[in-house]
Chains A and B, each alone.
Chain A
Amino acid sequence: MNADLVPGRHLPDFRLPDHVGNQRSLSDLAGGDPMLLHFYRGWWCPKEQAYFRKLLQLQDEAEVAYTRFVSVSVDTPEESAAFRAGLGARWTFLSDHERRCVHELGLLETTDRSHNPFVPTVLVLEPDLRIHAAFNGYWFWGRPTNEELRQAFRTITRSIRPDWEVPAR
């Protein structure tokens, strides 16, 4: 995995079209919340389909937890939209179908010459795009469990919400 994609480093604020085709920047998508940034190979990969099923279980918690999800692949916006709809995902999918970011981030999976996809990678980001945790998912067991993601989001949320220690008497 790219040596820059480690905890403590800031991710570049890249822009890509979303599943609707609108250009979106990472910082705007974060919007002051913790964010799961998930690079996946493509709709066709069974490991990705299995991992999405895990993330779908977490979205029911994230929807009330002021936490964002963004998934990125080299699929086109149209493919991303169809895959997203089929999964029942309710978060933003970004399309790097021009394979610009995959090179800039050093995440090209060189063992797949036909798709030239992202190396499956999960980053948990703080609102300023600082990497809190990074997971290399080339082998499936390298990906974070939902419990590991909960722990990361708890730590970030505790650090960024001034009212984490709620005033009470």
Chain B
Amino acid sequence: MSPCWVARCSTRPRGAIASATLGDDGSDGMLAAWQADDERQPGAVKIDPRCIDADGDAAWASLVLAPRGTWLLFDDVAVSHAIRSVLAGPPVDVVSTFVTGDDRFVGAITAVHDDEPTRLRDDPFAAIFPTCLVRVGPGLLGRTPTPVGPMTQRYGAANPWPWDRFPEARA
């Protein structure tokens, strides 16, 4: 399993492995995912591939995205603090940081397959960059295993957290 890319777009792009509408009526466009080894789409960010499931149910998501041209070092204390808060906090169904390059934190997604977004009110990543609470249609988001902890580091500099094993440990 290798990391995936996701990006907001207006329609489902060619080559996407999964996609879903954003907003109750799809008025907020789409979120689509690609394999990491495919050509990177404009504005795409890397995500833990375990988040992506083309058969996944609809969900509520807290989508945290850095303003264009803005990023933090992944090892910034603000990011580490948010990750610790995720590990200590109540469980969610989907969580991944968004990264670009080897060291850039550019946001995160936290999602629940609930009818209400109540569990997303305290998304720790929302303290770092602007967030929007959005309904994600079916066909994109699965379930990530609850991170084992207490690890806050990436397994390989270019990978998102909580992806939790080095390549040689992947089965």
Further pairs besides A31-B169, A32-B169: 8, Cβ < 8 Å: A32-B165, A32-B170, A33-B151, A62-B150, A63-B84, A63-B150, A70-B148, A90-B149
Provide the bound-state CA to CA distance between A89 and B87, in Å: 8
The prevalent SS among residues of B at the interface is loop
CB–CB B88/A89 < 8 A: yes
Task: Please report which residues of chain A, range 41-71, place their CB below 8 angstroms from some CB of chain B when the two chains form the complex.
Answer: 59-60, 62-64, 66-70
Provide the bound-state CA to CA distance between A88 and B169, in Å: 29
CB–CB B145/A91 < 8 A: no
Query: Which B residues are in CB contact (< 8 Å) with A28?
Result: 145
Return B67 CB to nearest CB of chain A, in Å: 29
CB–CB A92/B153 < 8 A: no
Return A33 CB to nearest CB of chain B, in Å: 8
Interface size class of B (residues with CB under 8 A): 10 to 19
CB–CB A29/B88 < 8 A: no
Closest to A22 in B: B146
Return A126 CB to nearest CB of chain B, in Å: 12
Interface size class of A (residues with CB under 8 A): 20 to 34
Closest to A88 in B: B88
Q: Which of A29, A90, A127 contacts B150 (CB 8 A)?
A: A90
A-B contacts at CB below 8 angstroms, number: 65
Q: Which of B145, B146, B153, B170 contacts A64 (CB 8 A)?
A: B153
The 3 closest A-B pairs by CB, nearest first: A32-B169, A90-B87, A91-B149
> Is B41 interfacial (CB-CB < 8 Å)?
no
Closest to A68 in B: B148
Provide the bound-state CA to CA distance between A5 and B153, in Å: 31
Query: Which A residues are in CB contact (< 8 Å) with B148?
Result: 29, 31, 68-70, 91-92
Closest to A87 in B: B88
Query: Which B residues are in CB contact (< 8 Å) with A70?
Result: 148
CB–CB B149/A92 < 8 A: yes
> Is A18 interfacial (CB-CB < 8 Å)?
yes
Query: Which B residues are in CB contact (< 8 Å) with A67?
Result: 151
Closest to B166 in A: A32
Task: Please report which residues of chain B, range 129-151, place their CB below 8 angstroms from some CB of chain A when the two chains form the complex.
Answer: 145-146, 148-151
> Is A166 interfacial (CB-CB < 8 Å)?
no
Provide the bound-state CA to CA distance between A70 and B164, in Å: 15
CB–CB A31/B165 < 8 A: yes
Query: Which A residues are in CB contact (< 8 Å) with B169?
Result: 31-33, 127
